[in-house]
Structure 1
Amino acid sequence: MATKSNFISSHQKQFQFGKSNAQLAHCCMFLFHLSALQYLHTLAKEVYNQPDNGTKNNWESSPVPSPSSTQPQKQTRGKGKKRKTPDFDSDNAAEDVDFVPENQDTEEESEDEDTQEDLDLEKTHTPLKDLRSRRISRGLSSQVRYHGNSPNGLSNNMMGPIWMCTKTTKTFRDEHCNEWVFAEWMPSEKDWHCLSDSEAEKYLPQEMMSTAFTFSREGIREETPLHRMKRFECLPPHPERWDMLFYTGGPVWAMDWCPSPDGAPASQYAAIYCHRNLDDQHRMNELYTKPGLIQIWDLGQLHPQSSPRLAYGIAQDKGFVWNLKWCPGGAWELPTTNRKAPHMPRLGLLAASTSDGHITIYSLPHPDTLMARRKHTVQGVITLKRGSFKTNHDEKNNQVLSMDWLPVKPHNILAAGFYDGTVALWNLSSRSILQRVRAPDRSFTLYPYHCFIAHDNATRALSFCHASRDLMVTAGDDRLVKMWDLRRTWEPCQSFKRFLSTEAAWPLHWAGVFISQESTYATFGQHGLNYFDSGYLGFKPLFLVPRKGTMWSLSISDWLNTAVTADSVGDVIMVLIPNLFNNPCYLKRSIDRRFVSTLSRPASHHTQISPKLTIVLFLFQRTFKNVQSRAPWKHMQVAEAKGGLCLDLMPLASLTKVRFNPNLCAQSWVLSGGQAGLVRAHCLRAMNSSHINKMVQESQAQFSTMFPQDTTDSQGDASAVRHTTEKL
């Protein structure tokens, strides 16, 4: 019994102890809930900025903020609600935002654009910081959200990156681009010789009249009779629309705008080269020479009253011109600059790669300083060749298919890609007797300081990085795109295999390159413009502009953060570049960011009998409002859809070159030309904003202060211009 009683007593004690544990646990749970409620109350005050009323349970009656509240919420760790899978095929523009997978705790914002008033930036000059709401992600993937619509009809969320890039571009150019360079390469009257009509005939294009074409503008009802233009003739500009059209005399293949200082009230010039006739064919695998003409066109100050004209032509016997490239900065000076004879004020330095395998740099004067505005022959200031001063490599030389000039000061490096896949680099400021050699005719020849093999086949495209002098991208016919660090060229930094590339551009603001490609090895739908990350952020390629035909050319404006493309179908497509620091693979409805600017199409199906061309200018003069219901957008949508192409109609309408104006005062002007020999210059005025207009006015005021119009004697001296240009 004692044993049993002891057992019962022990059992009763355990039961009592267990009961006390239950009470303790219940008490602990109560304290835990109380502590949790106090924590939530404190957290609610911190997050929603609620006042402390001194009551313990007032968190139950505190109001919950509405979803449209602009107060940021404190991000807490832990599992959030399961997100709905984004619908990439959705047509709802209000839901067209970039999805960031790293941020799972951020609350989605809702906004009603129909009830929100548009922000009139042109009148109020609203600062950028006032348009920001909050960041929806962290680190490099952070994105600034903008509310409302801009005056041009686009959302502020699309125009925001453009405003930020405009300011960044101005700051970068002031620090890295404006400097007086190559003072020894001044144009001289001794190097120029005017040709008679009989002597100039072998250099001129053979097409005396252009193809018959009709010309129309969106939104203007007018009769569109057939036009035929004579060689070097232009159409009178429209009094309401800012556009120009002129005929060069043959299919356009090379084109580039002449750079000028920011704010300079100067005429805009463009260098253009065209074939001598419509049926010219040029070989890449062998060297040859033939006469040709490089045309320098004066487009005036790009206002409705100015008409383009042929300023002068450069007659040369070096063969077909593959590329034209102006020195990016530091080579322009005022046309009123006083220089001692025989020197003349310099317009710029122009590099031309020809079919003899060489690159010639010309020092061009302002047109008004020449005695006669006729065709001229001129000797280049220097010729770039491969090889060395001891070894003649002319018999082993190849065609120069791509070329680029160092975009940052001192602009002393010029790079070229050859048919055999090599890339050569020249130091234009070198004084080494091993690289700089004087020929018997007193001309200079410069040999490269470095060469390397970039591709197994032709180096089709080449571009410097606008933000660094040590980075470059090349694209070859071996279907490889490679990014190089010029300090270690034994292997590329990044390499990926795609399709045939026609042109490449490495912009200032983004850590990647834009490639226009020809998908000869793939199915339909791969022609177009692609963005490739440099590997730092690890993004997949972004397909921005799909096209049916070959995309021959692309150009990017750092001022507008916008790209334009030209293709064999005859369309010029403008695309607004998104914020590429976020993962662009989650960008929905990229079609909302691209617009057709101009259109060329054959007007007759019997092109062999009576070739005709229809040219339509879709000029977004003021606004993009209701763009999806307008004819340009519908045409672009149809042109991107699957369907057959009539290949015998494309060559006449094909556009082979397009270029954005790099100058601040004319940053929205686009120049395009192609197989028909017709060159169009038009203005994307809707892309201008109050921020750009204000920057233009400040630059013009600064330029007029440094270069007064009543320049005399010492102020007009070349040294004064050089010093003030360096300060500018």
Structure 2
Amino acid sequence: MTSLENVGKDDQDAQDACCPKDEKTQSRGRGKKRKIREDDSDALDDADFVPEQKEAEVESEEDDECVYSDEEEFNHSSQSVSRIRGSAINGLSNSVMSIIWSSATINKNFRNENLLSWAFPEWMPSAKDWHFLSASEAENYMPKETESPTFTNIREGCKEERPLHKLQRFESFPYHADRWDTTFFAGGPVWSMEWCPCPDGAPGSQYAALYCNRDMDGRHKTKELHTEPGLLQLWDLGVLSGTSMPCLAYAIAQDEGCIWSMKWCPSGAWEMPATKRKFPQMARLGLLAAAYSNGKILIYALPHPNSLLAHRKSQMKGRVQPVLNLKLGCGHADHTGQSGQCFSFDWLPMKPHNLLAAGFYDGTVALWDLSTKSSLLRVRTANKICLYPYHCFLAHDDVIRTVNWCRASSDLIATAGDDRMIKMWDLRKTHDPVSTFRRYLTTEAAWPVRWSGILLAQECCYATQNGIHFIESGFVGYRPHFVAPRKSTIWSISFSDWLNTCVTGDNIGELIMCLLIDLSVNPNGIKRTADRRFPVYRAEMVCFNSVPMGNAAGPEPTHHRDVVKKYYLCFHDTDMVRGASVSSLSLPLKVNFGQMPLNALYKVRLNPNLGASTWVLSAGQSGLVRAHCLRPLNSPVLNKVEQESAAQFAAMFQSQEGYRPTAHQGLRVFD
């Protein structure tokens, strides 16, 4: 992990940039010893997450009279972060925000060293491979639900009418003038969703790819391979300034099955929309890999929407073909789906982004070299290229739920499976894992750049509290840190290296923002971590007839058409403009486990791009996709990095015409 050698130096530089030299950090007094209470919000019943000592010295939590704003400067060292006094302009303490402020500079330096400006130049979108479908042909692939569930918004501190709304399929709301949030309807339950990465400082629209099930009540087998028609949707969310509205740019019709996981090439795949290319090539938006329920992983070269529409009247033949088809086995002996479906995979985040790791149903991990020229691994058949893995190994005894590459090393990956094992591997010797942890079931994971460990969303039916845990890689040796307790299944987490923050989406419809602490030292002695957890919004199911949930006469409906007749969704949004609040975390929740979870959130994603790093997407069972801006996390340090990157990008592409995003009306489906 040589790329992290300058982390401490970068941290100090970022803090010195916004700290005066004449301000001294005062040492804080020691309070009295107190016993750790059994009902402490940060303590678990499980002994593995409770410190062994019976007593701990806790620093006094006195109110500080000194108050600082984000724009004011104060000096501190990386060793005294926890002793910084005062509050930032967003209401959070300076000790909380200091880690966030330094993360922007550290992540920017890391990206400058480890990302590419251009990758895989041979994979370019071609107009000859795209064919427009008629309305009747496209209907066979589109979600069956043409209208969203009824919903309303209650925005904290915002005095406005709260009418009930419904959205038509692929319809969206404009951004709210004050809160900047928006909602659009994808058509079905969303299980996979990813932001499209772009270079730091790049102008123009932000895009997100997502896949939703065609049927609201559909059930999918995980043990067997299966295929079905569906749409891979690409949404244009505009410049995220509150002056536009999301729209469906285009959609790809496919018959490979449902998509469990998708990943964009981390860097080097985006180019300016105004780039002029000789026909039939088009300006490339990015490279997207998708894992299907038939066991295949396909990589698509997606063009910018404007570039694609410019060739609409040109003569286009053939069908859409992925640039690469990743399969198990070899050219002489096809695996024929013996390993089952792929539920998670990851693209090598470091340059040259040539490796891709995937986990399968039988516990196998496969590794592909996307740039190999070997005729044994790269086989062309029937006008398509199939790539076979250069290495496979059995990592788990059960289904692999998540595969994550170390952000700072191409030799380290982490896997988690239904055997309740979390394993970290050195790919140079896969006969034995580097470290192994036996814990709860893991649904999703994230590996931060800055810290030596991994964030895991874990649940256990025997535990009173599920939640997010940070497990150290084994180099330091301290116990797992309990980041956020939750009382229901956490389906998805997402981490931002720009903000040192993660968000979670769970089965009861809560989107929670968690500000991480300094994880370079043992975090288990730090108290009051509840002050770092804030709700973004909570989705609640409300009866139309005002009957309390669970007390309505008759059995609970189990089909979508019956549920939407009885319930509507109420989104309780926290005021993220005037400062985050923890008040909503204490609201009592009435959970009916026999009820269809219309409010469940299956996927949350923080934007990885510098200019939009404070934006988060969330979606779930209802098919409603929501975008929120975490404005309290914005800071002068982040703004400075954005301005410098924008100036650098403009200097590199000053010869090209600037991009002026336009809204794309209507639906364009390709096969």
TM over 0.5, yes or no? Answer: yes
Paired residues of 2:377 and 2:387 also in contact (CA < 8 A): yes
Partner of 1:494: 435
Counterpart pick for 1:532 among 455, 464, 471: 471
Residue 659 (structure 1) aligned with residue 605 (structure 2): yes
Paired residues of 2:488 and 2:507 also in contact (CA < 8 A): yes
Paired residues of 1:133 and 1:146 also in contact (CA < 8 A): no
CA separation of 1:184 and 1:583: change in aligned 2, threshold 3 A: same
TM-score (norm 1): 0.79
SS of 1:652 mapped into structure 2: coil
CA separation of 1:90 and 1:189: change in aligned 2, threshold 3 A: same
Partner of 2:289: 351
Q: CA deviation at 1:546?
A: 1.2
Counterpart pick for 2:491 among 552, 555, 571: 552
Partner of 1:34: none
Paired residues of 1:214 and 1:227 also in contact (CA < 8 A): yes
Cα distance in 1, alignment partners of residues 579 and 591 from structure 2: 32
Counterpart pick for 1:226 among 161, 164, 168: 164
SS of 2:637 mapped into structure 1: helix
CA separation of 1:565 and 1:505: change in aligned 2, threshold 3 A: same
User: C-alpha root-mean-square deviation of aligned residues, in Å?
Assistant: 2.8
Counterpart pick for 1:274 among 212, 234, 237: 212
Paired residues of 2:170 and 2:185 also in contact (CA < 8 A): yes
Residue 470 (structure 1) aligned with residue 437 (structure 2): no
Counterpart pick for 2:532 among 593, 598, 617: 593
One-letter amino acid of the counterpart of residue 119, structure 1 = Y
Residue 691 (structure 1) aligned with residue 637 (structure 2): yes
Residue 614 (structure 1) aligned with residue 560 (structure 2): no
Q: CA deviation at 1:523?
A: 2.9
Cα distance in 1, alignment partners of residues 205 and 214 from structure 2: 27
SS of 2:97 mapped into structure 1: helix
Cα distance in 1, alignment partners of residues 306 and 224 from structure 2: 39
Cα distance in 2, alignment partners of residues 692 and 462 from structure 1: 30
Partner of 2:20: none
Partner of 1:703: 649
TM-score (norm 2): 0.85
Counterpart pick for 1:131 among 70, 75, 87: 75
Counterpart pick for 1:392 among 334, 353, 367: 334
CA separation of 1:616 and 1:378: change in aligned 2, threshold 3 A: farther
Cα distance in 2, alignment partners of residues 306 and 283 from structure 1: 39
One-letter amino acid of the counterpart of residue 599, structure 1 = R
1:97-129 alpha-carbon deviations (Å, 9 max, x no partner): xxx999xxxx9987964421x22232x4x2xxx
Counterpart pick for 1:410 among 349, 352, 358: 352
Cα distance in 1, alignment partners of residues 331 and 249 from structure 2: 37
Cα distance in 1, alignment partners of residues 283 and 362 from structure 2: 39
One-letter amino acid of the counterpart of residue 611, structure 2 = C
Partner of 2:65: 115
1:585-624 alpha-carbon deviations (Å, 9 max, x no partner): 1121221110111111111246634231112222411323
Residue 378 (structure 1) aligned with residue 317 (structure 2): no
One-letter amino acid of the counterpart of residue 593, structure 2 = L
1:106-160 alpha-carbon deviations (Å, 9 max, x no partner): x9987964421x22232x4x2xxx4216846xxxxxx563222111111111111
Paired residues of 2:32 and 2:58 also in contact (CA < 8 A): no
One-letter amino acid of the counterpart of residue 698, structure 1 = E
1:548-605 alpha-carbon deviations (Å, 9 max, x no partner): 1100000000000000000001000110001111211112122111011111111124
Cα distance in 1, alignment partners of residues 513 and 311 from structure 2: 36
Paired residues of 1:194 and 1:377 also in contact (CA < 8 A): no
Q: Which runs of 5 or more structure 1 residues have no equivalent in the other structure?
A: 1-67, 74-80, 94-99, 137-142, 713-728
Residue 646 (structure 1) aligned with residue 592 (structure 2): yes
Cα distance in 2, alignment partners of residues 258 and 69 from structure 1: 43
Q: CA deviation at 1:709?
A: 6.3
Partner of 1:50: none
CA separation of 1:212 and 1:450: change in aligned 2, threshold 3 A: same
SS of 1:200 mapped into structure 2: helix
Paired residues of 1:88 and 1:588 also in contact (CA < 8 A): no
Residues 452-463 of structure 1 mapped to structure 2, 5 A cutoff: 452-463=393-404
CA separation of 1:438 and 1:92: change in aligned 2, threshold 3 A: closer
CA separation of 1:533 and 1:566: change in aligned 2, threshold 3 A: same
CA separation of 1:434 and 1:231: change in aligned 2, threshold 3 A: same
SS of 2:410 mapped into structure 1: coil
Partner of 2:8: none
Partner of 2:546: none
Q: CA deviation at 1:371?
A: 2.9
Paired residues of 1:463 and 1:472 also in contact (CA < 8 A): yes
One-letter amino acid of the counterpart of residue 523, structure 1 = A
Paired residues of 1:133 and 1:144 also in contact (CA < 8 A): no
Residues 507-522 of structure 1 mapped to structure 2, 5 A cutoff: 507-520=448-461, 522=462
Paired residues of 1:134 and 1:145 also in contact (CA < 8 A): no
Cα distance in 1, alignment partners of residues 129 and 336 from structure 2: 25
CA separation of 1:71 and 1:347: change in aligned 2, threshold 3 A: closer
Partner of 1:677: 623
CA separation of 1:133 and 1:344: change in aligned 2, threshold 3 A: closer
1:523-542 alpha-carbon deviations (Å, 9 max, x no partner): 322x1111111111111111
Residue 178 (structure 1) aligned with residue 100 (structure 2): no
Partner of 2:223: 285
Q: Looking at CA atoms only, which structure, 1 or 2, has the larger radius of gyration?
A: 1
CA separation of 1:388 and 1:121: change in aligned 2, threshold 3 A: same
Cα distance in 2, alignment partners of residues 244 and 162 from structure 1: 26
SS of 2:450 mapped into structure 1: coil
One-letter amino acid of the counterpart of residue 233, structure 1 = E
Q: Which runs of 5 or more structure 2 residues have no equivalent in the other structure?
A: 1-22, 42-50, 313-317, 544-548, 659-671
Q: CA deviation at 1:89?
A: 4.8
- Mean CA deviation greater in 232-241 or 675-684: 232-241
Q: CA deviation at 1:210?
A: 0.7
Paired residues of 1:209 and 1:229 also in contact (CA < 8 A): yes
Cα distance in 1, alignment partners of residues 25 and 456 from structure 2: 40
One-letter amino acid of the counterpart of residue 364, structure 1 = L
Partner of 1:721: none
CA separation of 1:698 and 1:547: change in aligned 2, threshold 3 A: same
Residues 5-24 of structure 1 mapped to structure 2, 5 A cutoff: none
Q: CA deviation at 1:266?
A: 1.7
Paired residues of 2:157 and 2:575 also in contact (CA < 8 A): no
1:17-64 alpha-carbon deviations (Å, 9 max, x no partner): xxxxxxxxxxxxxxxxxxxxxxxxxxxxxxxxxxxxxxxxxxxxxxxx
Paired residues of 2:339 and 2:364 also in contact (CA < 8 A): no
Cα distance in 2, alignment partners of residues 197 and 672 from structure 1: 29
SS of 1:370 mapped into structure 2: helix
Partner of 1:327: 265
Cα distance in 2, alignment partners of residues 553 and 156 from structure 1: 29
Counterpart pick for 2:511 among 572, 580, 586: 572
Cα distance in 1, alignment partners of residues 25 and 616 from structure 2: 40
Partner of 1:437: 379
Cα distance in 1, alignment partners of residues 602 and 78 from structure 2: 43
Paired residues of 1:179 and 1:409 also in contact (CA < 8 A): no
One-letter amino acid of the counterpart of residue 570, structure 2 = T
Q: CA deviation at 1:438?
A: 0.3
Cα distance in 2, alignment partners of residues 368 and 262 from structure 1: 21
Q: CA deviation at 1:72?
A: 8.6
Paired residues of 1:569 and 1:650 also in contact (CA < 8 A): no
